[in-house]
Structure 1
Amino acid sequence: MVQIGGKNYEIVQNHKEGWNPEVFRDRYSEVLERYDYIIGDWGYSQLRLKGFYRDNHPKATKDSTISSMVDYINEYCNFGCAYFVLHKSKDQPQAKAKSGS
């Protein structure tokens, strides 16, 4: 489990040991919080991050759903590159509300 930006993520795939927590934290942007999945791929020693929605998400297009991940990796990533896939956990940390008496 990885926590960043107040969100919890689970590593669901770590192809060729692509996961590097330090570099991920440096490259992470708040813009990725809207997505259900984050894919990180390596090319020329640089980590690139891309967000994907779950398949039935109302804002998703065909190319932005997780089911198109294989196409993305085959078409836009370097051949045989290391990559990882994170899935946003439904169990997010929540601030506890204090009730006054």
Structure 2
Amino acid sequence: MIIAGGKNYEILKDHKDGWNPEAFRDRYSDVLERYDYIIGDWGYSQLRLKGFYRDNHPKATKESAISSMVDYINEYCNFGCAYFVLQKTRESQQPKEMEKSSS
């Protein structure tokens, strides 16, 4: 489990070892808290984060629903890039990663 912005997340997918806790901590923004999923993809040694809603979320559009994740990866990410998918959880367990420090 990962804690970021006071929210709990779990790693659903870690494609080609895309998960890097330090890079995630550095790139995380509070604006991502509203989303149910966060996808992090790597291109040119830079981590990019994008939020997605669960499919039945009232604010979900075709492009922002998690069911469009494969389309996003195929159309907007570098071919064959490393990436990860985090899902927001409601459980309160001990985190495996440190919470982002406020600096």
Considering the TM-score relative to the shorter chain, is it more than 0.5? yes
Structure whose CA Rg is larger: 1
Q: Secondary structure at the match of 1:62?
A: coil
**Structure 1 residues 9-28: aligned runs within 5 Å:** 9-28=9-28
Aligned length: 93
**Structure 1 residues 63-78: aligned runs within 5 Å:** 63-78=63-78
What displacement does 1:90 show?
Answer: 1.7
Structure 1 equivalent of residue 49 of structure 2: 49
Structure 1 equivalent of residue 8 of structure 2: 8
TM-score by length of 1: 0.90
What displacement does 1:92 show?
Answer: 5.1
Unaligned runs of 5+ in 1: 94-101
TM-score by length of 2: 0.88
State percent identity of aligned pairs. 82
Structure 1 equivalent of residue 97 of structure 2: none
- Distance, in Å, in 2 between the alignment partners of 1:8 and 1:19 is 16
Higher relative contact order (CA 8 A, sep 6+): 2
Asked whether the equivalents of residues 7 and 92 of structure 1 are also in contact (C-alpha less than 8 Å), the reply is no
